[in-house]
Structure 1
Amino acid sequence: MADEKIGESDFYITADCDGQYSPEDIEKVAKELLENPDCFVLGVRTYERKKGKKVRFWLNSCQKLFFRITNHGKECPDPRSGLRGFPASLKKLALCTEGKSYDYELNFLDAAIQKTPVVVVPISSETHNINETSHFRPVVDLLGMYLKFWKYLFTSNVATVFDLVFFIIFESLFSKLGTISIFVATICARAISGSVGYILNRYISFQSKLNPGREMVRYSIVFVCQMAASGILVSLLSVIPIPTVIVKAIIDTILFFVVYNIQKNWVFAEK
C-alpha cells in the first residue's frame, strides 16, 4: 500500500470489511481514541462459555494464551479483533508491516503494542446483522496468523537434526580421545547447528534485511546463554526425584519460547 494513497489525519480507525462491527462499536473506539490520542485502541469482544459459543470461547482463550507466550508475556484480550484505532504516529508502521489478512493484523498488533500503550474498549461479540458470517477460518487463519512462529519451530527442528547428526559424526571421529570426545563432539556439533539455525532464522523465520554482522553477534550471545542456562538449570534441578530427561525437556521447552521472543524482539528486530 503506497503512503500517498492514505489521507493525512490525526487518527486512523480500521474495521473488517465483512461488516461484522456495528457503527455503534466503531463510534466507541473513535471516542476512546479522542480521549487517549497517544494510545492504540482495541475493540475487545467478550466470549462467554455457554451453549452455542463454546468454540469461540475456547478459540479465543487459546489464542490469548498463545499471544502471551509469544510476546514476552504481554496480554491481549482479543488478538483477532479487527476494530482498532491508532494515532498518526503509527501510520508508517501500519503501512510497512508485512503480511496479509489476519497475518497482517497480528503482525501490526504485535509491533504496535511494543511502541504504544494499549487501551481496550468492550464491544459486542455478536456478528452485525449486515453480514452474519465471518471470513475467519479457525485452522487455516490461526496457522497463518502465527506463521512466523511456525517457521521458527520448523527451523529449530532442522537445526536440532543437524546437531544430532553432526554429534554422531564427531563423536565417532574423536572416539580415540576417550570421555572427552563427547564434550568435543557436542561443541563442534552445536557450532554447526547454531550456524544453520542463524541462517534459517534470518532468511526464513524472520526474513531479516538488517545488518547481518549485528545480528550474528546478538544471535551468538543468545545461543551461548541458552546453552549455558539449559546446562546449569538441568544440573541444579537434577536433585529432584524426576527423570533428568523430563527435567531437560521442560526446561528446554520454556527456553524455546523465551529465546523465540528474544530473537523476534532483539536479535532480528529493527531497533
Structure 2
Amino acid sequence: MSVMIVIPSYEPQKKVISFIQRLSEQTGKNILIVDDGSGASYQSIFQELSVIPAVTVLSYEKNRGKGAALKAGFQKIITEYSNVRAVVTADSDGQHSITDISRLIAAIEQTDACTLLLGTRSFKKAETPFKSYWGNKISSLFFYFATGITCEDTQTGLRAMNTSLLPSLLTVEGERFEYEMNVLLKSKALAIKLEQLPIETIYENNNAHSHFRAVQDSYRIYKPLFRYLSSAILSLGVDISAFLLLLFLFGGSNEMVIPATVIARLFSGIVNYSLARSWVFGNEERVSSTLWKYGLLFLGQMVLSSLGVRLLLLILPIALISKLLVDGLLFGLSFIIQNRVIFQKGRVRE
C-alpha cells in the first residue's frame, strides 16, 4: 500500500532536519511537510528539508493553526497524489519516534478503510509535564463524558487513516489544536471506528517548544462543554427571572407558586432548546426531528428533579443543597443525552 506521512510544522527547530532525513531513510515513504506560516526566519530549514529525497514542503505565508495545516496536507493528497492509499500524521516537535511512526504505517496497511488509528501515549504523573498530564486527563474525561468512548490520549498527533476518510475529515470544524479533538468527537457521526495503538511517551525539554496556548486552545477544545454551561446558566437566569416576574404580576400567594414555576420552566426550556440546537451542538436538522426528543428529556428532568429533591430532603433537610446536588447530577446526564441522542448529527458515510 502507498502511504504518505504528513507533518504539520510551525517554527521548527533545526534538529528536525536530521529527524526527517532518518524518517525518510528508515520508512522509505513519501513525506509531506506543511509549513504553517513559520515566516522568513525559518525558510532556510524548510529549504534543507525540501532537498531530502521523497520530501515535499507545502508552505503558505500566514500561520493558520495545526488543524488548518493538516487540512491543507489532506487536500493536497486528494488533488495531487491519487496513488496514495493511506496517510500517517505526526508532529515535528520530537514527540513521536520513528519506530512508532513505522508501527502505525504497518498497522494501517492491515486495517479496514473506515478505521482511524491513534498512537496513544500512557501518561505517568512523575514523568509528564504538569500542563500535558492534566490537559490530557481532563480532555480524556471530557471525551468519555461526551461520547462514552474511552481514549487514553485524545491529544495525540500520531494518527493513521485510509485516504477514503480524508474528504470527511475536511468537513470537521476547527483550524487549530481543537481540530484533532473535534475529529474524535465527530467520529461516530462520520461512521469512523477508532482503534488505539500504544506508543512511547516522549517529552523533550519538558515540552518547552510546544505551541499549545493554555487558555485559548483549551477553550477551543472544550468549547461544546463551555457553551453548554453558558446556555444552562442563561436558561437558569430566564427561569428565575420569569418566576419572580410572574409572582410580582399575579401576586405572591402560595397558590401561584406552582403555576409560576411551570410557566417559568417552559420559558427557560424554550431558550435552552434553541441555544442547544443552534449554538452548543450545531445541529441544523428540522426542529420536528429534535424537539420531541428534547421535550421528553425536559419533562423527565422536571419529574426526576422534583422526586430527587423530595427524597434527598429525607436525609439532607436543606432544600437548596438538595436541589443543587440533584440538579447537578441531572445537568451532566442531560449533556450526555443531548450530545449523543438528541442533537447527534446523522452519519455522512455509509
Q: Which sections of structure 1, spanning at least 5 residues, go unmatched?
A: none
Indicate the residue corresponding to 2:304 in structure 1. 229
Give deviations 1:50-103, integer Å, cap 9, x for gaps: 26734432332233223222333x221111112112345643431211122221
Q: Secondary structure at the match of 2:284?
A: coil
Q: Whose Rg is larger?
A: 2
Alpha carbons of structure 1 residues 41 and 242: separation in structure 2 relative to 1, 3 Å: farther
1:120 to 2:207 alignment:
no
For residue 141 of structure 1, the aligned residue among 208, 217, 222 is 217
8 A contact 2:146–2:340 mirrored in 1:
no
2:239 partner letter:
D
Q: Secondary structure at the match of 1:81?
A: coil
Q: Secondary structure at the match of 1:47?
A: coil
Q: Using CA pairs under 8 Å that are at least 6 residues apart, name the structure with larger relative contact order, 1 or 2.
A: 1
Q: Secondary structure at the match of 1:70?
A: helix
- Residue correspondence of structure 1 range 1-271 to structure 2 within 5 A: 5-7=76-78, 10-16=85-91, 18=93, 20-37=95-112, 38-50=114-126, 53-72=129-148, 74-88=149-163, 90-112=165-187, 115-127=191-203, 133-175=209-251, 178-241=253-316, 243-271=318-346
Q: Secondary structure at the match of 1:101?
A: coil
1:263 partner letter:
Q
Alpha carbons of structure 1 residues 214 and 184: separation in structure 2 relative to 1, 3 Å: same
Alpha carbons of structure 1 residues 13 and 228: separation in structure 2 relative to 1, 3 Å: farther
8 A contact 1:41–1:84 mirrored in 2:
yes
Superposed CA RMSD in Å reads 2.7
Higher relative helix content: 1
1:258 partner letter:
L
Give deviations 1:107-156, integer Å, cap 9, x for gaps: 11112256444322222221479x97222223321111011111111111
8 A contact 1:67–1:76 mirrored in 2:
yes
2:344 partner letter:
A
The CA distance in 1 between the partners of 2:196 and 2:243, in whole Å, is: 50
The CA distance in 2 between the partners of 1:205 and 1:199, in whole Å, is: 9
1:28 partner letter:
R
The CA distance in 2 between the partners of 1:52 and 1:194, in whole Å, is: 43
8 A contact 2:94–2:202 mirrored in 1:
no
Range that drifts further, 241-250 or 164-173: 241-250
8 A contact 1:48–1:54 mirrored in 2:
no
1:188 partner letter:
I
8 A contact 1:97–1:107 mirrored in 2:
yes
TM-score by length of 2: 0.68
Q: Secondary structure at the match of 1:44?
A: strand
TM-score by length of 1: 0.86
Q: Secondary structure at the match of 2:232?
A: helix
The CA distance in 2 between the partners of 1:251 and 1:189, in whole Å, is: 19
Alpha carbons of structure 1 residues 228 and 30: separation in structure 2 relative to 1, 3 Å: farther
Q: Which sections of structure 2, spanning at least 5 residues, go unmatched?
A: 1-70
The CA distance in 2 between the partners of 1:193 and 1:92, in whole Å, is: 39
Q: Secondary structure at the match of 1:13?
A: strand
The CA distance in 1 between the partners of 2:127 and 2:155, in whole Å, is: 21
